[in-house]
Amino acid sequence: MRKKTQSKREEIVAIARAAFLDGGYSATSMASIAALVGGSKGTLYGYFSSKEELFGAVVRDVSEEHGLPVLALLDDPQADLAETIFALARALTRFFVMPEAIAHYRLAVGESGRFPKLGQIFFEQGQKEGEDMVTAWLEERIARGQLAARPPRLLAQQFVALCRAGPWNALLMGAPEQPGEAQLEELATLAAQTFLAAHARPHPE
């Protein structure tokens, strides 16, 4: 029964994910999602108590599918600092320009003025979770003396900002063309080099 319930929950989240992206948050009702699922609103509310909770599940679903594999690069505590920074920069630059990532960011920002809690959900269950993991990793590297002793959360935010430079803002505003592989590689390399030049400590002789 638990397996069947989990399968149904995943089906609801997948349908809601497509519905929110297609129609926006405000224009997508629980009734319309229930109709797409093929059940009653009562069944839908049995899984999610509100549209906000369902949106949070969608944000987490997107993060787990696309974000967590990126952050898995931080799992090896013995990995070389520079190699990890370069690999993370490559992964993040590609993640940020994914059409679905752009669409979800645009959705959250566009609707959060009318629905402030929506923006909070997007931040807490998506962006902040990733930021927390990068912050913890940087904090450990600071403790080892590999990075300068600076606020680790600020370093994490700065690193993400470097990886978002270039085509991300244009795509957010509706630019039709995706950046090519060479452009993304150049962006990632420059982001990693800039971050390491500013914050990495030289190896002791």
Mean pLDDT of 187-201: 96
State the chain's mean pLDDT as an integer.
Answer: 86
Q: How high is the pLDDT of residue 138? A: 95
How far is CA 194 from its chain centroid?
22
CA dihedral defined by 9, 12, 13, 15, rounded to 10 degrees? 160
How far is CA 198 from its chain centroid?
25
- Greatest mean pLDDT among 21-30, 72-81, 137-146 lies in 137-146
User: What pLDDT, in 10s, does the model give residues 92-132?
Assistant: 999 888 888 888 888 877 777 777 777 787 787 777 888 89
User: What pLDDT, in 10s, does the model give residues 66-86?
Assistant: 777 777 888 888 889 999 999
